[in-house]
Structures are given as structure tokens and as C-alpha cells.
Structure 1
Amino acid sequence: MTLLEIDEVRGGYAEVDILNGISLSLQKGEILTVAGTNGAGKSTLAKAIVGLLPRVQGRIVFEGADLAPLPTEARIARGIGYVPQVANVFGSLSILENLQVVVGVKDQGKRIAELFEVFPLLRERKRTRAGSLSGGERQQLAFARALMTRPRLMILDEPTAALAPAKVADAFELIHRLPNLGVSVLVVEQRARQSLAISDRGCILDGGQVALAGKAASLLADDRAAELYLGRATHG
């Protein structure tokens, strides 16, 4: 079942187009990695999906409904979670307070308890101020905040960008678990090889267009993708 369909999406800021006719789809239960070099349009695409790009043309359809008329808040309410690269938690609030201030959550206490089962570290430190958390702990909290509204789709913008190298694998393991929670995932990621390794499919952008797309395993084995976009494989 197609959960998200993007058809010939163009847009950007002021008069400058960053997205130049992107088409892709995400199936229910999938993890889709969107990769590419800096400036390829990856994060801009994420913003277009959640309604944060000021100028967008083309169709973005979620569960059969066109998102074009809807502001960001309505898209979130429809079942889309979004974890931006920065400013994804309130540093002055505790872990518990960060979850409690999420609006539009039915049975808030029950939902927080459910997420503390998924993220036991957050439960242990629920009174801790978010600003004092490590990068990996903040990322767990950002994921939990986005999951509060029980989304069916999560948009993750560069989730490993601010993490220490030792914590990157933990982040990808967490992303890999999301479909088991009933959440499909579109992840924008610079660490393309590691992200594709836990994904079902991948899409590589170049100049605001789709350069390559297909099954994640096929992209990892593609010599052209490796040479132009993925970098050399690392071993050891």
C-alpha cells in the first residue's frame, strides 16, 4: 500500500528552486533513505512534506489525501511525525515535560508510559533537563516526542548529524525498529551507506532531482552510486 506519493515536486525559497521535479513513493511499513551530496535538496524535500517550505508545486499525497492545502499542524495531526536536524527538543524542560507539552495527544499519560517502555533510558531520567542530555539521549527524546501523536509516517532529517561517532550505530538501530511500532520512515541522511543498510529502498538526489532510486541493497551494490554518491565502503 502506498503511504506517501510525491509527484513532480518543485520549490524552494524566494525565486530559487532547490527541488526540481522530484517524484518518489513510500510504501506502508518501509524505511526509505533519501541521500545525496550537500545541497542536493534532501532536507528541503523533508520540509516540503511537512509544510515548512514556503513555495511548493507538484503533488504530495499522504494516505490518498493531497497535503497541499494543509499547514504543518494539520499534517502532523493527520499522522506525520517530523524530527528536524536541530531544535528538536526543549532544552530548558525535563524529559517528561518535553513529552507532556506535545499537543493533540489522546490519553497522554498512557502514551508516555508506552514510550517509556520503548525508551527505558528516558523513563530512568525523566526528571532530567533535556539540555543536559548527551547527543544520543537527546535523539531518543526527539524520536519519542515525534511518536507521541502516534504517527504512521516519520520524517527524519539528518538524525545522526549531531551524534558522536560511537552513537551513530545506536541511532540507526533505533530507526530500524520504527516499523515494528507501526511507523513507516523517510530518513534524510548523509551517512548513506549506513542508512541504506537498514532501509528497504533508497533514493539519491542530485541537483534537486532523483539521480538513482531502487531497492537499498541494489543501490549499495551499484558501482555508479558508490562512485558518485556513497563514497568508499569501510571495513573493519
Structure 2
Amino acid sequence: MTYIFAHRGSTGTHPENTMSAFQEAARVKADGIELDVRLSKDGEVVIIHDETVDRTTDGKGYVKDLTVKELKSLNAGAKFKGGIHQAEIPLLKEFLEWFKTTNLVCNIEFKTRSIKNYDLERKTIAIVKDMHLDDRIIFSSFNHFSIVYAYRVAQNIETAPLYSESIFNPWIYAKAIRAKAIHPNFRSCPNELIVKTQKHGIKVRPYTVNDKKEWLRLFNCRVDAIITDYPEKARDFREQLFT
């Protein structure tokens, strides 16, 4: 069965990367959650996508220049549907305490460009290990140095490279960096590539898939998971297709 991962939580209906979006994903019976992590000024792992808080909150500035206290003072729901939701920027620790009570899988995306400083990865891995959640976590990133580092220090946690443009024989690349899966843009994974990649033992989880025609194609291809802003709609579509 193709799993449904909620992209930054149920982003289509709730403010992205907030507890309300994650809890909604659980409520509508998504199979997994995808989220993004960065470091605050005081070195805490926080859940937010952008380098700045400008797009998603009522504040301004770079995440790396703001302390947890300053980040927590912002409304992470301010820019969503006219600000009808009040929400905090969560710490990864806070999310995982709740996550432990569910049966979900979580894809943690490292938002970093560095090829030398691995503080974000190191601290994230430590939190996951402290909570004994290794078998329910996937690490992904567009920065492939990041996931190679993660594999080297936590070989029992699955890794997956994110990419937006096509890669020649992606199963060879994935195996070369010890990844168990690929997370391509859905436009970069034609049916033949999906089949070949899976035949070589590499999972395929395309992002960010919100179109019904693409759902139909990818479900029929039996991709391992789709990452979508609308987990409830995708789940209903899957049920209609296979029942």
C-alpha cells in the first residue's frame, strides 16, 4: 500500500509545521508526517521551513538570529487564512513527545546548506535517540552532505535524498550514499523510473503531490508514499481507488 505523508502536517487546512497541523494529520489518519528543522540562536532544534520567520509568522528576521523565547512569542498561524489560527513554532522535542503517542512515521528534513557544520544533524539525531524513536524516523535533505553525515553517525535511521531535477539511475546514487529511499519532486519521477528504482530495493516517495491525476498515477505505480498538503483528501482518494 502507498503511504500518505502529511507535508509539514496538514498544510492545506492548518498552518504549516505547527502542532495543530500535525495533530490534524493524525486525526485524518495519515500514515506519516513530514516536517522541517533548523537551529535557533540559542542552539535548539525548532520546526520551521524557511530561513526567516517572515512568510509564516507575524514576526521578521532569520531563525538563526532569534532565541527560542523570541520564536515562541510569534504567531505561526498569522499568515494562514487571515490569521484565524493561533499557533506556536514547535521545538522538535515538543513534537516528538506527542509523536510518541501515535503510530505515525516521521520524515525530518534538515534545512541546512552547510557542508562543514553538522550541529543541526547532530542535535536532531541525539533527540531522536534519546526518545528511542530510531525505527520511526526518516532523515531527508536537499543537502546530501547532511544525510551522508546522518547515516555515518546513525546507520540504523533511514535516510533519503530530496531532489527537484531528474537524476540518472537514482537507485545507484541512493545506494552510493547508503540511502534507503529517494524523495523526488513528483515531476521528476516518471513511471518507468519508479518501477526500476523499486526493483533495485530503493523506496520512492514523491513530493508535493496535490493533484488527483498525479495521485491516480502514483497510487497505480505503487510508490511507497506520497507527500501531500492534503492528507485527508489523499486518503479518501486511496480508499475509493482500492476498495
TM-score normalised by structure 2 residue count: 0.36
Higher percent of residues as strand: 1
The higher-RCO structure (CA 8 Å, 6+ apart) is 1
